Amino acid sequence: MGSLQLKSIRKAFGDHEVLKGIDLEVKDGEFVIFVGPSGCGKSTLLRVIAGLEDATSGSVQIDGAEVINTPPAKRGIAMVFQSYALYPHLTVKDNMALGLKQAGTDKGEIETRVTKASAMLSLDPYLARRPAELSGGQRQRVAIGRAIVREPKLFLFDEPLSNLDAALRVQTRLEIAGLHRRLKATMIYVTHDQVEAMTLADKIVVMNAGAVEQVGSPMELYNKPANLFVAGFIGSPQMNLISVERLPELARAGIKTIGIRPEHIALSRESGEWRGKVIHVEHLGADTILYLETEVTGLLTVRLFGEHRYDADDIVFATPDKAFMHRFDASDRAMA
């Protein structure tokens, strides 16, 4: 009821090509997240799927039907925006029901759908309130409820949590995850926050400069990045990327860059492979993040689990776990 297939989607604004031939398949019931740096085209791609932007060329198919020339209202999609887009003069109940009323849906059916969505999102105590009387998290739930009552083929989310504070982002993220499990609906979600992507998605689409760099599950992207861009983008703190010229003992034909994640480096005060000086320490409670300047690698990030007592200017020795090293060729592609 909610599959999506994109074929050779291109979008240009004048001479500037924003989307450069996107091919993607989303299966019914999947939770797919687009991530990438600002300006990579992820929101534009979502708007092309919704019909809010016209593709320059290509095909958009929903449940096997071509919709590239179909207006947004007839595509069977519902979109949740960053800005909530609620009507300030309407109550929560009326905001949620408005789209159905405009579509001429039977009053009894509207009541049933609004009641169901309200219960699902814990909005029952707020149905008579107006948006100004709600918190940011409650407003976002109303916007999500307005999408749910339409019973769309596809839910589209455009950075829905970016206006919320940290605690509310976590809470609303959990609510969206639970909603996906209950509805078993197809959801496509745009975010710049890789934590959201890693914790919510069945499948992540990493975009860069209008192209898809890699598609896979969160742990596939984390453990097997296809190229240097994905290796550096996915993961926080990000992967250490070291030119093989600094590590001649690891060099072999074709290797140009070595990658090692911060948690795959052991630290000692007595001995190890790379001698360095601590230049900064972040004590996070569950983790300790150290930034070292080593004689061999230059700047190096190390992640230790738990609390560890290191200070700036301490001399330490770092040893990478070679079983977890990533190797990239001159074209920035991952090597076996």
- Flag whether 235 is in a domain: no
> Which structure tokens are listed for 335?
């090597």
Whether residues 11 and 88 fall in one domain: yes
Give per-residue pLDDT as tens, 279-292: 999 999 999 999 99
pLDDT at 67: 96
Q: Which of 194-198, 204-208, 229-233 has the lowest mean pLDDT?
A: 194-198
Sole residue written with tokens 């898809």: 212
Whether residues 119 and 50 fall in one domain: yes
User: pLDDT higher for 27 or 102?
Assistant: 27
Whether residues 90 and 226 fall in one domain: yes
Q: For position 249, which CATH number holds? A: 2.40.50.140
On whether the CB atoms of residues 217 and 274 are closer than 8 A, the answer is no
Whether residues 176 and 296 fall in one domain: no
Whether residues 12 and 91 fall in one domain: yes
For a pLDDT cut of 70, what percent of the chain falls above it?
A: 100
pLDDT at 1: 66
Q: Where does a domain end: 230, 251, 267?
A: 230
Residue 254 has pLDDT above 90, yes or no: no
pLDDT band, residue 55 (cuts 50/70/90): very high
Per the structure, how many domains does the chain have?
A: 2
pLDDT at 47: 95
- CA torsion sign for 76, 78, 79, 85 is positive
On whether the CB atoms of residues 193 and 42 are closer than 8 A, the answer is no
Residue 128, classified by CB atoms within 10 Å of its CB into exposed (0-12), middle (13-18) or buried (19+), is exposed
Q: In the predicted model, what is the mean pLDDT of residues 28-43?
A: 95
pLDDT at 29: 95
Residue 52 has pLDDT above 90, yes or no: yes
Angle at 258 between CA 296 and CA 326, to 5 degrees: 140
Residue 52: give the domain boundaries.
4-230
- Flag whether 43 is in a domain: yes
> Distances in Å between the alpha carbon of 216 and those of 11, 31, 155, 158, 180?
24, 12, 20, 20, 19
Whether residues 181 and 91 fall in one domain: yes
227 forms bridges with which residues in the sheet?
333
Whether residues 51 and 80 fall in one domain: yes
User: pLDDT higher for 142 or 165?
Assistant: 142
Q: Which of 19-33, 157-171, 230-244 has the lowest mean pLDDT?
A: 157-171
- Flag whether 236 is in a domain: no
Residue 97 has pLDDT above 90, yes or no: yes
On average, the pLDDT of the chain sits at: 93
Whether residues 105 and 203 fall in one domain: yes
pLDDT band, residue 168 (cuts 50/70/90): confident
Q: In the predicted model, what is the mean pLDDT of residues 60-82?
A: 92
Whether residues 226 and 246 fall in one domain: no
Whether residues 184 and 277 fall in one domain: no
pLDDT band, residue 249 (cuts 50/70/90): confident
Q: pTM value?
A: 0.90
Q: For position 226, which CATH number holds? A: 3.40.50.300
Q: Where does a domain end: 230, 255, 282?
A: 230
Whether residues 9 and 101 fall in one domain: yes
Q: Where does a domain end: 180, 202, 230?
A: 230
Whether residues 97 and 212 fall in one domain: yes
